[in-house]
Each structure stands twice: as C-alpha cells, then as structure tokens.
Amino acid sequence: MGRPRKTKAEPEPAPAFPIGNCKVEIRGSGLRCETTEQGLTISGPRGAKVVVSVSGDQKGASNGVGEGSQFILLNPSDADSQTKSLLEEVLMLYKKELPTMDYAADTGRKSGFLETCTTNGKYKTLILMSSSAAQHEEVIATVSYQIVPADTQYAEIPLAVVRSSYQRVGIGKLLYKELSQRLQNVGVTSIFCWADKVSEGFWLKQGFVSVGEVNTKGKIRKIPVRADIKRALCFPGGSTLMVAHLNKELPVMQTWEKPQTSLHTVVPDSISPGDTNVSCENMVLQTYKRRVVRNTAKVATNEVSNAYSESSLSEQEPKKRMYKTSSSSLKSKRIRCSNHDDNCQDMNQIGVHDNNLCSSPENSLHVILKEHHIPSTGAHIYSNGSGSPTIMLMNIADEQKKARLTKVVETLRGFVTCDGHSCTHVVTGKARRTMNFCIALCSGAWIISPNWLKESFREGQFVGEAQYVLEDEEYRMQYKSELRDAVMRAKERPNSLFAGYTFCLSKYIQPSFDVLSAIIKSTGGKIIKKLSELDELSRTIFLVCEEEAELALVAAKSGIKTFSSDWFMSCVMKQELDLEAPQFIVSL
C-alpha cells in the first residue's frame, strides 16, 4: 500500500481592505499594471498581483453616500444627550484623522485645539451621518465653522475631515457644498478656512485661494484681513489661511415686459399715523408701464389722463405728498434722504418691481393722492406683476424651518427670493450688515419681524407692515438710532442715499470690491476704478483701508473725501449721509 498523497493546503485568502468605494486585494508583490472597465490589476514577478475593483457591498457609495444618509447641524449649546454623544464622536474622528492637530506645533504638548473647535460653543459642526443600511450609523464626514461675530458676512472653517474609509469619492465636496449653501442662505459672502499641505489641494478645487500663512512657531505673516475679523480667527500653527467668495458676480436685474392693460385700483397706504411723522394718504394707481431703468424714478402727479374717469376718485385733484420734518433733523448737519422732491414714494406698495422707473412721459406712473386714515391691515399692491409681496427670509440656518416659512408665504400667494434687489420684504430677527440686507434696505424694502408672517397666516392674507417693523436692540446700541427710521427714510427715496456721488475703492478694501460695488450701486452711487477718472472732486468719496494709509493721505491732500468701509456701511445701515464724520486720516 503506497503512501497517502499529501493534499495541497488551501491557499490563505488574499488580504483585502476598502479604500473609498473600492476593495483592494494584495496578492504577493507586483509592478505591471492592467486596466479594465471594472478595475485595475497590478502584476509582477512570480504571479504577484494587486487587484482594485468596485466593492460589491458598497453599492450606495458610488453616489458618495447611501440612501438614508443625512446632514445634522450640531450646536454645543444644546444640552440634549444625542448632541453631546455626536460631538464626542466628532472629536474622536478629528483625533483619529488629524492626530497632529491635537498637539501644539513643535512642542509635543497637547493643545486642546480640537476640543476648542468642537465643544466650547464658539464653533458649530455640520456632520454627515452614514446610511441606515449600514451595520451601525456613524459620522462619515464633519466640518466645524463659525460665523464671525464682528461681521456676519464672513465665516471661518478651522477643521474639516472625511473618515478614511470614505475618502476620494466626493464626500468632502458634498459636505462643503451643503455648508456653503447654508451659509449663503443666511447672508455669508466669504469663507475663510485653514489648510495644511495635505488638504490645501482640496480647498483649491473648491475655489479657495491662499491669502496668508502661520508658521510652525505660530508666527503670523502679514494677512490682508480686517483687524476685527482677524481677532476672531483661530490661527493654528503650520497652516495656510485661504478664502473663497460665495458671491463672485453681481446680481442681474430682471427685465420686465410692459403690461398690456391698465390697472385701476384703490391702494390705501399701510403706514398708520401713530407710527411715523408721515401723513397718511390714499394712493390710486391708474395706469403704469414698466421697463428696464437706470438710476432715477419720477412720480408724475401732474399728468392725469382721460383714463382716470373710470376711477371712483377721478374727480379729485392730485395732491403732492407732504412729509413733516422734525426740529432735530433741521438742526442736524447730516443730510437725510427725506429732504428732497417727492420722487417715487412708496414704490414697493404701488406695483413697481423694478428698483427705478424711466422718467419719460410714456413710462410715467400716474397716481392720485388723497388724505385718509387707513387701518394697518389694509390692502396693498406689491412689487411684482401678480400683486403679491416678494419676501427674503434671512438668518434662518435650519432648512426645515425655512421650508415651512416658504410654504406659508406661498400659501398666502407670495414669493420667496434670495435677491436683495427684487424683494419687497425682509423677514429676519436681526439687522445684519450683509450684502443682500443692505441692498434690500437701500431699495426700500420692509425690514420686518417673523411675527408679520405669523399674523398674516392667522388672517389668511398679508397684513399691514408698519407695526411689525423689526426692533433690534443691538442695532439701536450700535447706531444710536431706530431701525424703523432707517426703513422709512429708505422708503421715501429708494436707491438714492448716495445719488450723485462717485466712489473709488482701494485695492485691499474689505468687504470685497464686488460686495461694496453692489451696495454702492443700490444707493445710487457711481464707481470708478482710478482716482484719475473722477469728474467732480467735491462729490468723490475714496473708501480705503489701513494697509493703504499712504494712498489715503495723498487723496486727502488733493481734497478728496476719504472714509473707511465702516463709515460707508454705517451710512447704509442708518440711511443717513454723514459727511461731517471724521475722515479716514483723522480717525487714524
């Protein structure tokens, strides 16, 4: 009987591990590569192979995340156990994927930086949770951020990470897109982020550019950032400061067709006598034609056509609107918006969508004015063709809450917009120095609290705005005035605060050139690129920053008014042209 034949041992299964949505198997060693539609094979001597193919058990990963995955916003101020548990998981993920960030640069000592960016309340964290189809839910990716308190149109991202097993499948891009959209919805226009050598390439692909560096010893090189914003940033050692602007292009004004029919409607003013010094009057809109405009609007009260015979008030003589001026305003050296001719009063309430109207006779707006006491819930005609308000919802980071409010507006036959030029109402809980807010204010939009929407929903129709104008204590403390006064001044003469003035902006001015340009145009101002292009010295304003003080000194010696961007933004927020304020060189 012969020896039993030895059976060949079963080969051990090739080691495999996932990379993103791929499975990598290593079989020996190899250097030769073959590519197919399904994967990549790396081969070498003695049959060594590395096979890379799509992992069958991660079908949902081909689209980045599986079904059931969700974004969750975590606020350290929330005391619930789920938030605390998720923040602890986020902290562990940061420590695992970014171990060097847990130590002070070049010291080997723990810095507590990761805890600061996760749990101390200064920063919020947006996370992406795994699909419910997975074995257990886990945090796939996370990004921590803050909206800079000194200027809420800026945000900072100190930390962002994607779990290693989900990298290189577009999840980082998906996470940043979600965050940037949320920030843009609440008025943020520029985002700062901190990058190391590994992550810098990713941020470049998202549209960021490098603006400065912090070396490993924590020394900061010169960074072109405003001092108040710089104080709010975190400056981690050995990192690069990068910035991206969410609004690179100026909003495009819409072109509206001329209506084919005339409109005959009695329109009571929504301003009640107890709210302002403005005398209440009825405005009867007879006929109008709309077209694209340039920079002035005129209400032609002296041209009454035969079409007025169809109106119940057609036999009344037109009266020019009169506004009372307080004694304090007469003593003030400041130039207010309310001391000019009656040009296009209450445009947002008489059916005009465009910010301005051509002043030619064929495009004039004919109105009849009649003194009358009206209730605060009277009817209105707003700035779109359907006769409904166009509302901008601000300072709402919760997408579900924003969706509910949008549904309320649509139920009341209104419209929701993200464009400050086209809105008639801004619903917000706080006055913010953002581009859209400033443009809307300059355009004469109502700045009102969410209570207006609640009351409108209860009534089943949009109610009067006057008693719902936003009352903001921070605004009152900062500008020493009431927001209501600024709103009423802007409504008296929309887009006219800096009419007739020419602006030149310095190179490193903040907010950015695009943002300031958009706001300046909404105030009726003109922009030139060089001081050599100015037409009238006395009506030219040079906005400059500290980095260009020498240039400001030269301009001031030439007789040009030089101010900081803070001065300009204060004028916009108060709707007062304060030319008696100390100029830039004096303030230094």
Let me know if the fold of 265-492 is the same as that of 502-587. Answer: yes
CB 139 within 8 A of CB 127: yes
DSSP 300: -
pLDDT of residue 22: 62
Q: Collapsing DSSP states into helix, strand and coil, what is residue 24?
A: strand
Q: Which two tokens stand for residue 434?
A: 């953002």
| Separation between Cα atoms, residue 58 and residue 579, nearest integer Å | 65
CA–CA distances in Å: residue 5 to residues 10, 12, 327, 395: 15, 21, 116, 80
CB 391 within 8 A of CB 445: no
What is the CATH superfamily name and number for domain 265-492? BRCT domain (3.40.50.10190)
pLDDT of residue 587: 55
- Alpha helices, DSSP H only, in 188-326? 200-205, 227-230
| Separation between Cα atoms, residue 238 and residue 217, nearest integer Å | 7
Mutual angle of helices 565-574 and 513-522, in 10-degree steps: 30
CA–CA distances in Å: residue 536 to residues 29, 334, 553: 77, 21, 19
Q: Does domain 63-245 have CATH number 3.40.50.1820?
A: no
| Separation between Cα atoms, residue 477 and residue 90, nearest integer Å | 38
**Backbone Cα Rg of the chain:** 31
Nearest to 328 by CA among 320, 318, 338, 319: 338
CB 576 within 8 A of CB 489: yes
So what CATH class is 502-587? alpha beta
* DSSP secondary structure, 169-232, as one string: SSHHHHHHHHHHHHHHHTT--EEEEEE-TTTHHHHHHTT-EEEEEE-TT-PBPP--S-HHHHTT
pLDDT of residue 41: 75
| Separation between Cα atoms, residue 481 and residue 111, nearest integer Å | 44
Where are the domains positioned within the chain? 16-57, 63-245, 265-492, 502-587
pLDDT of residue 119: 83
Which residue positions in the chain have pLDDT lower than 70?
A: 1-31, 33, 35-39, 46-48, 54-68, 79, 102-109, 131-135, 216-218, 221-222, 247-387, 585-588
Count how many residues are written for the chain.
588
| Separation between Cα atoms, residue 103 and residue 87, nearest integer Å | 20
